[in-house]
Amino acid sequence: MADNKLAPQSKNKLPWYEQALPMEGRATFLPFQDTMPGSVMNQRSFALPGVVAGAVNAITAPGRAYSGSDPTFNPEEEAANFAMNVMGGGIGASRAAPPPAGSLGMNAFHRTGIPFEGAFERNRPQSQASFSGPEGFYFSRHSKDPTTGVFGRHVIQADVKVTKPAPVSQVFIGPGNIPTPRAVLPVTPVWAALNKIDPAQGGYVIADSAADAIAGKKAPRSNTYAEYEQQFYTALINKKLFKLVNPEVLEPSDVSLLKLYGYDGFEYKRPQNATSSMPSQIVALDPEQIVRKAAWTEPR
């Protein structure tokens, strides 16, 4: 339904700032919205242009996240919308838009314990049976590697297009300051609100800069949880809170933060002197980045 200000208002209707403006069928620059674009049954009504509606949604997103008033609230999509409208991600850009037609992807191989036909899709059980977290699509540069028995013997060859991979550093973390591959990304207050993060969650460090976070020069943790909670939110406001994103085990909040900074995956090459067991791998965030070419099953 378009945001037509002339439409009658229901007594139970939520205030405008507690619900997202629907974007489907909305023209990017012109003031109208279609119910069924391209259909003879289409109905067109007055509505805010897409660029304006997207900016409004970005402004109201933190309040909707905290209040829970919007049952359709999607943290990943809201963070991506905020990135495009507030942080200069580009007017009219799409978070799931594939690279330009004809651009070449990396030749890569996906191993899984369960064969499947057709294109890659989110939430496929067979994707989760390979070396992957709950988000992302994981590939190797080689069809055969030492981990075949773990990742499965069913091989899918594909072109994988990661045009802006997130940088991965050997971050010194843990009691022994062991170098571990992680992407170090600053946390913004808006992103924190959209994803409802709190100090009890792991994977965050407080440091003066990303370089200090990588080097293990993080702020000493307060003695009590109450003190740490204050330290955590103070660091968030002062832009000294960083999330350590594990390329091998991506969560939905990780994906939204990566997209906030314009990244569309990983292209990790394991250093020869690496102490971590994480193998070299290519990780795409969206199925639109993958073009399937061939598939086969290795003998047992």
pLDDT in tens, 243-258: 999 998 898 899 999 9
pLDDT tens, 95-150? 334 444 434 578 998 888 777 788 888 766 444 444 456 788 888 888 876 555 56
In this prediction, residues 32-44 reach a mean pLDDT of 65
To which residue do tokens 């069928």 refer?
A: 25
Query: What is the residue-averaged pLDDT of the chain?
Result: 76
In this prediction, residues 224-245 reach a mean pLDDT of 93
Q: Is the confidence at residue 182, as pLDDT, over 50?
A: yes
Lowest mean pLDDT among 53-57, 262-266, 289-293: 53-57
Which residue from 257, 244, 234, 175 is spatially nearest to 205, judged by alpha carbons?
244
Angle, CA 190 vertex, CA 187 and CA 192 arms, to 5°: 50
Q: How many helices (H) and strands (E) does the chain have?
A: 8, 12
180: left (phi over 0), alpha (psi -120 to 50) or beta: beta
Angle, CA 102 vertex, CA 100 and CA 107 arms, to 5°: 105
Other CB atoms closer than 10 Å to residue 9's CB: what's the count? 7
Angle, CA 96 vertex, CA 141 and CA 103 arms, to 5°: 50
Q: Is the confidence at residue 11, as pLDDT, over 70?
A: no
In this prediction, residues 164-172 reach a mean pLDDT of 93
Q: Cα dihedral angle (200, 205, 206, 210), rounded to 10 degrees? A: -150
Q: At 107, which helix (H) or strand (E)?
A: strand 106-112
Higher pLDDT, 71 or 262: 262
What is the pLDDT, as a whole number, of residue 92? 36
297 vs 115: CA distance, rounded Å:
8
- Give CA 250 to chain center in angstroms: 8
Q: Is the separation of the CB atoms in 150 and 140 below 8 Å?
A: no
